[in-house]
Structure 1
Amino acid sequence: MPGIHTMFEASTLSDAVTKLLNTFGAVAGFLAILLIVFYAAGRATGKISRPLTILVFLGPAVLLILIGLIIPAARTIWLSTKSDDSTRFLGAKNYTWAFTSDSIHQVLLNTLLWIIVAPIVTTALGLCIALLVDRLKNEAVYKSLIFMPMAISFVGASIIWRFIYETRDSSQPQIGLLSQTVMALGWKHPPNWILSHPLNNFLLMVIMIWVQTGFAMVVLSAAIKAIPAEIIEAAKVDGARGGNLFFRVTVPMIRNTLIVVLTTVMITTLKVFDIVRTMTGGNFGTQILANEMYSQSFVQFNIGRGSALAVILFVAVLPLVGYNIVQLRKERGNR
């Protein structure tokens, strides 16, 4: 047995070294090609120099966009018109199924609920915290603590909150913080939080809000500090105070930033998959579009329907991305 164990370790080490050398060789080869191309572009003269320079700088970007975005998107759209095993052409039948199936109606409703509630609460909470923390001493410390969940993956955050929502029979010791808290407040028989529909959907949104609030706080805090002091002073001279100053001066001045934060969190929410997959697997009435796409493609192995849901998700994200780009350009133009 010791001999077999030693041989297994040696084989594993050999495989790891081989993979590392192959990776290093691929990177070195790529860098060598880049050096040769840049050297050729630098040495080129005359009429060929400008087209070659354009090709050198735009070529890799265009190639990566083709390989990483355009070709996969075109292939997904094509697969969305095929049967589950991609052998028969179905036309728009998969899309018809997506918009007429009762089960998918619940999925779309849950997704709509997510992209309305989570971004609005995240942005509002981030704005409130930004206003409060900016008035405290050592604000960097508090901001770091609030921003810290951004460093945790959605899977990691879900595991943390899974322990918080853990529920046991009231006769047993509770290890879930939420159940222990409500029992200490007098609720003797708390429900199983994850099984309680539709409450479970909002409890899952709390995880998203917890992770993203730090992002909203940092961006909005920077926008508030960028408001010229002269404007604030002039508003105070005119009698603006408290809520009047906030809603009539601060909010209009950071309107573009608010919209950018809101749409960015919406995009993240629309694509959220990890939280639902880790917490419930889409069961108990918590299924959303991104997780249903995964389930259709890799659990039920229906590539056609999964691809159709992927296309719907892609089309839903596009307007938000476009609007975000327009707002960012407007903000840069104003500067």
Structure 2
Amino acid sequence: MPAQARGRSGNAKALGSLLALGLAALLIWQGFIFLRDTDLPRLLVALLAIGGSGVLMTLVYVATDAVLHALPPAWTRRLQPLPFVLPGMVMVGYFVALPMVRTFIASLFSRDGSVFVGLANYVTLFTEPFMLVTFRNNLLWLIFGAGLTVAFGLLIAALADRSRHEKLVKSVIFMPMAISLVGAGIIWKFIYAVKDTSEPQIGLLNAIVVAFGGEPEAWIQLIQPWNNLFLIVIVVWLQTGYAMVLFSAAIKSVPSDLLEAARIDGASEARIFFSIVVPHIRPTLIAVTATVVIFTLKIFDIVLVMTGGQFGTDVIATQFYNQYFVNRNAGLGSAIAIVLLAAVVPVIVYNLRHFSRSEPL
């Protein structure tokens, strides 16, 4: 009888926990609907969202943990991490996975979503000249933007390592990271600014050119597609500090006795760098490269501020913005978003798989 009583008590506890978990899920769902549709002041809505989410997440954790402890011990141990990751999984599913699915479905319909067109929007993406120009520009951003950022970051980190002015150099190179992308775009728009030859040049670059006897140029309107390089320079200027800091930390983790042994054996500094330092910091090199590649693939702010996509500088993100929000073409805009997602996801997956197999950075 005592065993049967404990069994009934455990079953009742598990059932109660399941009901509590279901109630929490229902409250979360209704809470989203209420906060979305309410006419309450925005400050009060924000406070309700912050306070209510904390209470409901606590209820979800407690109820899930109680359900797990009602299971057989083997299952309890196997599913123990579930209470910690379940809320995050639900949020990711609702705010990331579900919109992705809805975006893909929208890409199969016409501009207003009334007619099913299948893969017609994707055919347009890969056949229309304006989209081919867009893909070409993103390739330029990928090659020169990501490539130069990683190269300069690694070079500066290696040259500044253990030098007398290391802190000063790193501070100066890292400083642009404090500037937003929009702010950086405005700064460089003034640097590239051009005036008529009869007026003083307010753009720094043209002022220098004129001072040396040259003619002012509209730099971001020059030979296409190489005018994109004037925009890519901005990202290199901004992101080199990020790459440099991570590379510098990785280089400092290389055992000094290993470096000294190589020098005693007569290895040159270049040989030491490429044969010892680079293999040792390979996980960091891959992680930084993947991060910068993702950043350049999604570039939007700088292009929008500098040119608005004119003069042959459109990229995938600006083209998505123009098609979806300006031209009101939901089908084509959604297809562009899916293509951008397809370009970014493999890089993220590779980075995560490599990170899981390697030691922490």
TM-score by length of 2: 0.82
Q: Secondary structure at the match of 1:100?
A: coil
1:196-232 Cα offsets, whole Å, 9 max, x none, are 1334200000011111101110111111111111211
**What are structure 1's unaligned runs of at least 5 residues?**
1-16
Which gives a bigger RCO, structure 1 or 2 (Cα 8 Å, sep 6+)?
A: 1
Write out per-residue CA displacement over residues 138-164 of structure 1, whole angstroms, 9 at most, x where no aligned residue. Answer: 533432331122222211110111111
Match of 1:7 in 2: none
Count of aligned pairs between the two proteins: 318
Q: Are 1:190 and 2:213 an aligned pair? A: no
Whole-Å separation in 2 of the counterparts to 1:182 and 1:314: 42
Return the alpha-carbon distance in structure 2 between the equivalents of residues 54 and 327 of structure 1: 23
Q: Indicate the larger mover: 124-133 or 28-37.
A: 28-37
The letter for the 2-side match of 1:310 is: A
Paired residue secondary structure (2:113): coil
Aligned to 1:204: 231
- Helix, strand or coil for the counterpart of 1:21? helix
The answer to whether the Cα contact below 8 Å between 2:57 and 2:87 also exists between their aligned partners in 1 is no
Q: Which residue of 1 aligns with 2:71?
A: 47
**Within 5 Å, which residues of 2 pair with 1:108-187?**
108-137=135-164, 139-187=166-214
- List alignment gaps of at least 5 residues for structure 2: 1-39
Instruction: State the match for 2:58 in structure 1.
Output: 35
Cα deviation for residue 64 of structure 1 reads: 0.5
Kept in 1, the 8 Å contact 2:185–2:305? The answer is yes
Q: Confirm or deny: 8 A CA contact 2:125 2:131 kept in the other structure.
A: yes
CA distance in 2 between counterparts of 1:310 and 1:256 reads: 30
- Name the CA shift for 1:42/1:105 in 2 (closer, same or farther; >3 Å): closer
Per the alignment, do residues 308 and 43 of structure 1 end up closer, same or farther by CA in structure 2, a change over 3 Å counting? closer
Q: Does 1:21 align with 2:44?
A: yes
Distance 1:98 1:274 in 2: 22
Q: Does the Cα contact within 8 Å between 1:197 and 1:284 map onto a contact in 2? A: no
> Which amino acid is the alignment partner of residue 25 of structure 1?
L
Q: Aligned partners of 1:260, 1:254: CA distance in 2, in Å? A: 10
Give 1:33 deviation, angstroms.
2.0
Give the Cα separation in 1 of the matches to 2:62 and 2:331.
47
TM-score, normalised relative to structure 1: 0.88
Looking at structure 2, the residues matched to 42 and 262 of structure 1 have their Cα atoms a distance apart, in angstroms, of 40
Instruction: Please name the residue that 2:338 is paired with.
Output: 311
Residues 32-65 of structure 1 deviation map (CA, whole Å, 9 limit, x = unaligned): 2233344556667543894996553232112111
Q: Percent identity?
A: 44
Q: Distance in 2 between matches of 1:216 and 1:146?
A: 10
C-alpha RMSD of the superposition: 2.3
Alignment equivalent of 2:271, drawn from 244, 247, 255: 244
3-state SS, counterpart of residue 332 of structure 1: coil
User: 1:209 is matched by which residue type in structure 2?
Assistant: V
Given that 1:107 and 1:288 are in contact with CA atoms closer than 8 Å, whether structure 2 keeps it comes out as yes
Counterpart position of 1:80:
107
**Could you tell me how far apart the structure 1 residues matched to 2:80 and 2:271 are?**
56
- Residues 42 and 318 from structure 1, CA distance in 2 versus in 1: closer, same or farther, beyond 3 angstroms? closer
Structure 1 262/43 Cα, relative in aligned 2: closer, same or farther at 3 Å?
Answer: closer
Give the distance between the partners of 1:72 and 1:329, measured in 2 at CA: 27
Could you say if the C-alpha distance between residues 37 and 98 of structure 1 is closer, same or farther in structure 2, counting changes exceeding 3 Å?
Answer: closer
Cα deviations by residue, 1:235-294 (Å, 9 ceiling, x for unpaired): 112211232222232223223322222221111000001111110010001111111111
Alignment check: 8 A CA contact 1:111 1:288 kept: yes
Structure 1 residue 275 and structure 2 residue 302: aligned? yes
Cross-structure match for 2:122: 95
Change (3 A) 1:263 1:26: closer
Q: Are the aligned partners of 2:61 and 2:84 in contact in 1 as well (CA < 8 Å)?
A: no
User: Contact 1:197/1:285 (CA < 8 Å) preserved in 2?
Assistant: no
SS at match of 2:109: coil
